[in-house]
Amino acid sequence: MIFQKVKGIFIDGRKDMCKKNPLTEYLSPNKVYIPLIQRSSILKAEVKVGDYVKLGQLVASVEKPFNVRVHASVSGNVTAIKKVWHASGKMVDAVEIENDFKNELADTIKEEKNVDKLTREQLIEKMELAGLTGLGGAGFPTHVKYKTKLKIDAVIINAVECEPYLTCDYHFITTYAEKLLKGATYMARAAGASKAYVAYKINYKEIREAMMPYLKDYPNVEVFPVKNVYPSGWEKFVVEQVTKKTYKNLPAEAGVIVNNSATAIIYADIVEKNIPQIVRPMVVTGEGVKVPHAFVVPIGTKVSDLIEICGGYVDGLDPLKYNYIAGGPMTGKAILIDDLVVSDTLGSVVIKPIIEGFHPECLGCGKCADVCPAYLTPTEIKKAFERKDLKLLGDLNANKCVECGLCSYVCPSHVEITEAVGKGKAYLLKGGK
């Protein structure tokens, strides 16, 4: 079923500044801070100050609306429950663990001896117990996708990473290519599907080359190149490219489940070693740091520690003249300082100069509507939100906005259209509240 095909445009990726440096494993911070929030769910701490925790031990959870579990990413003593800066731009409670550098493993971490005999239900249960989430930025609990009652024909691993500057998935895949194929295979089994696809951007030849030596051992996995346009990593775009189908609400309607490539790599270790989700790839990049880097870090690592590894800020940096962006420059959130912690949803921090001297008013050029992949009129949605016109927001289909950032990117006046449209979408979905 195809309605309107997703469109996209070519934009300067600016990825070379980070691609040229190898992946850095920074796995031993002095302290980590495990956020007590997962998407919009507030978690209950399962430990208290003074407790000793092992690597991989459950430290927080919540049952509703989904069973969410987070784990210690280092071993050591719980020294505080304190406020930290989060990728959401807010301060949230977090469990502070002082690393003892012993890496004592939780009792649940052990080699899985019967991987080939695991049932679909057992594979899904492993996702749930490990706290596996979408590492592309959404942070949605993965096990929920796999509990669908719809028939799933294939799993699509999204390795497109179309945001400018970002290379965390690129580095993670080229370093752990076979783990990606293993994770894709396990996910297909968990979905009851016969096929898995790894979708990657066609100009990322290194990703294909990294997987080629192993593909013969994974006959049910196929690599699939997609166009070098933005937002080619958008879930609906990927599904349309691979399956020639589209959907209204969820990819399962088109017979597929979509997972980020980092999620698949982490899942391979979950299945084979019962290691929960305690690390993630991320990048610190942009014109504001001396040596941009891609990292693998424990969840709860301070971003300021990573900036030091990047050689610090460029000489003469005035913090008031630079933007700190949690996430990619197209869809990320502006933050005030670098003192935030790595969560499951934080794949990057981009540090860029502030643009000065632009015209702050809409010129009525229509470029934002021309590039919108959801075929919306962003400036009209912005105006409707400013007037709090709930009916007009509905008529303009504000709920279909994917917040890809293209409207703000192409705006010659640098108007922050995406932020306004996103607020209009939220206002509509909440019924004007």
**DSSP codes of every residue in 78-135:** EEEEEEEE-TTSSEEEEEEEEE-S--PBPTT----TTGGG--HHHHHHHHHHHT-B-T
Q: How far, in Å, are 120, 275, 297, 379, 431 from residue 390 at the CA level?
A: 44, 46, 43, 15, 7
Q: How far apart are CA 189 and CA 183, in angstroms?
A: 10
- Total domain count for the chain? 2
Q: Find the CATH number of the domain harbouring 208.
A: 3.40.50.11540
Query: Largest Cα–Cα distance of the chain, in whole Å?
Result: 64
Q: Per residue in 26-36, pLDDT tens?
A: 999 999 999 99
Judge if 192 and 255 occupy the same domain: yes
What's the pLDDT at 3? Answer: 41
Residue pair 26/306 in contact by the 8 Å Cβ criterion: yes
The answer on pLDDT for 152 being more than 80 is yes
More confident residue, 412 or 186: 186
Judge if 311 and 407 occupy the same domain: no
Judge if 261 and 311 occupy the same domain: yes
Indicate whether 76 belongs to any domain: no
Mean pLDDT of 349-376: 76
Indicate whether 327 belongs to any domain: yes
Judge if 250 and 376 occupy the same domain: no
Q: Per residue in 300-311, pLDDT tens?
A: 999 999 999 999
What's the pLDDT at 321? Answer: 64
Q: Per residue in 153-162, pLDDT tens?
A: 999 999 999 8
Judge if 279 and 240 occupy the same domain: yes
Judge if 348 and 404 occupy the same domain: no
- Total residue length of the chain: 433
Judge if 326 and 393 occupy the same domain: no
Judge if 350 and 382 occupy the same domain: no
| Percent of the chain predicted with pLDDT > 70 | 95
**Residue 7 pLDDT grade (very low, low, confident, very high; cuts 50, 70, 90):** low
What's the pLDDT at 189? Answer: 98
Judge if 265 and 378 occupy the same domain: no
Q: Per residue in 64-104, pLDDT tens?
A: 888 899 999 999 999 999 999 998 888 999 999 999 999 99
What's the pLDDT at 281? Answer: 97
**Residue 316 pLDDT grade (very low, low, confident, very high; cuts 50, 70, 90):** low
DSSP 390-431: HHHHHHTTGGG----SHHHHH-TT---HHHHHHHHHHHHHTT
Mean pLDDT of 276-299: 95
| Percent of the chain predicted with pLDDT > 90 | 61
What's the pLDDT at 2? Answer: 39
What's the pLDDT at 1? Answer: 35
The answer on pLDDT for 415 being more than 50 is yes
What's the pLDDT at 361? Answer: 75
Indicate whether 65 belongs to any domain: no
Residue pair 32/57 in contact by the 8 Å Cβ criterion: no
Indicate whether 245 belongs to any domain: yes
Indicate whether 127 belongs to any domain: yes
Judge if 217 and 153 occupy the same domain: yes
User: Where does a domain end: 354, 381, 409?
Assistant: 354
Q: Taking each helix axis from N to C terminus, what angle separates 205-215 and 177-191, rounded to the nearest 10 degrees?
A: 70
Q: Which domain holds residue 169?
A: 1-27+115-354
What's the pLDDT at 229? Answer: 82
What's the pLDDT at 200? Answer: 95
Indicate whether 44 belongs to any domain: no
Residue pair 51/77 in contact by the 8 Å Cβ criterion: yes
User: Where does a domain end: 297, 322, 354?
Assistant: 354
Q: How far, in Å, are 18, 258, 328 from residue 165 at the CA level?
A: 7, 23, 7
Indicate whether 148 belongs to any domain: yes
**Residue 360 pLDDT grade (very low, low, confident, very high; cuts 50, 70, 90):** low
Across the chain, what does the average pLDDT equal?
90
Nearest to 424 by CA among 397, 207, 147, 312: 397
Judge if 131 and 260 occupy the same domain: yes
The answer on pLDDT for 108 being more than 70 is yes
User: Where does a domain end: 302, 328, 354?
Assistant: 354
The answer on pLDDT for 23 being more than 90 is yes
Judge if 375 and 348 occupy the same domain: no
What's the pLDDT at 318? Answer: 60
More confident residue, 232 or 53: 53
Q: How far apart are CA 257 and CA 186, in angstroms?
A: 13
Indicate whether 138 belongs to any domain: yes
